[in-house]
Structure 1
């Protein structure tokens, strides 16, 4: 049976597409007929685009620092220059840099976490909305986390709580423009080691203990008592991005084996 091409002729931005969930989402959308803009500040994103094109997909890589307004706007403008429209925008940039009790974070580390996990979604939504309003159509999927209720990553949790609030409020604000805006709250996810780690410094023995506590709490909080797979996250993201979710907006969908996180 031929796979259903849910994204045939759709122009789709995927941020954080150089590795992990973002790479998987971009590859899967291209396999279902989507024209994909892969945005990342990591040069590896060019390799992902090449693999997609070599497999008869349509992909363009755009290098951008999505922690900045200029970076997010550049991605939106590049998409319009190449394809003339933006149907779907999936905002995947973010991730815990440090894992430790809140009182152990320095002020600079707190700012770095917020810049990493809140602002890329804020800027990216702001960059694509004018086009979607003009089109009177569009879909945004923000990638959040069940870590809004967790330990040893408070700045990250606060950032993802902000993503959730933004998602729900924007959905209310732009439903009249025929724009659907949702988020996936990812749970613990098994993934290969990042080729470019968020924190390049080796962990101290104490930091290893703090990080293990996150893993233990995540598994304990999941009703299914396990981490999910990257594919399980991709499946949920593709559903919300597709027309199959045409009557869903303003929703934070937890994909954490029963751990609901917090809004």
Structure 2
């Protein structure tokens, strides 16, 4: 369901917007009137932005940047200012487990890579966006977390998303007096089209394929509804949290996982 003009006159930055939940958020926000900057390190984010822009009524542009670096986050915010003149809403969608394996099987560099992928882009993007939200006299940050703060075969990812939840609560407390809300959505398992950029560029070993299957079985079994969610079922709560309808919600993490609270 599209809420016509819900975000009319507002500028939204969506990170990790080239595919999956981030792309869904960007497309629907633009359909509801927002001017949207799609930020991703995948070059095809430009293609996605062009498709969304053609449908309107909002405008869509892309910024190609590595959000695992602070320089990348700063470049994204600068691109939003250049394209649209300000920032009202930030949705931090970068993240995702790279590998699925028992914790004892992770190598130290693999643990660090999971933290860089699923925690640091949120920290960097929030930090880079705050001055621009202040210039607008307020705004909203919606961090896309995960209910996988409890789950097998992804302990480093769980730790990263637990960090996202904690920084959401603390940052909300810091910024509440400045009319800036900070909230999070914690999706559970979500059905999505095949990824154009693979989760693990090195490919999964046979053992990792087995561990992945075990993790999927655990996620499905932990969900009261007994199924994965759809992209639309994840996009809608994120946009609600970003909207004025959620004006009295801050510091909270909304779990969207069919009853599996993580």
TM-score normalised according to structure 1 size = 0.97
Q: CA deviation at 1:54?
A: 1.7
Whether 1:242 aligns to 2:243 is yes
Whether 1:92 aligns to 2:93 is yes
Mapped partners of 2:12, 2:204: distance in 1? 37
Residue correspondence of structure 1 range 68-87 to structure 2 within 5 A? 68-87=69-88
Q: CA deviation at 1:2?
A: 8.3
Q: CA deviation at 1:206?
A: 1.6
How many equivalent pairs are there?
261
Could you report, residue by residue, the CA deviation over 1:150-170 in whole angstroms, capped at 9, with x for unpaired residues? 110000000000000000000
Distance 1:217 1:139, change over 3 A: same
What secondary structure does 1:233 align onto? helix
Aligned to 2:44: 44
Mapped partners of 1:166, 1:112: distance in 2? 19
Distance 1:243 1:162, change over 3 A: same
Residue correspondence of structure 1 range 6-25 to structure 2 within 5 A? 6-25=6-25
Q: CA deviation at 1:81?
A: 1.9
Q: Which runs of 5+ in 2 are unaligned?
A: none
Aligned to 2:202: 201
Please, what is the CA RMSD of the aligned residues? Answer: 1.3
Contact 2:100 2:212 in 1 (8 A): yes
Could you report, residue by residue, the CA deviation over 1:52-97 in whole angstroms, capped at 9, with x for unpaired residues? 1221341110011000000001111111122221100000000000
What secondary structure does 1:12 align onto? strand
Q: CA deviation at 1:201?
A: 3.0
Could you report, residue by residue, the CA deviation over 1:21-49 in whole angstroms, capped at 9, with x for unpaired residues? 11111000000000001100001101111
Aligned to 1:213: 214
Mapped partners of 1:207, 1:115: distance in 2? 21
Q: CA deviation at 1:220?
A: 1.1
Aligned to 1:142: 143
Mapped partners of 1:11, 1:128: distance in 2? 12
Mapped partners of 1:202, 1:247: distance in 2? 44
Aligned to 2:29: 29
Q: Report runs of 4+ in structure 1 exceeding 4 Å deviation.
A: none
TM-score normalised according to structure 2 size = 0.97
What secondary structure does 1:189 align onto? coil
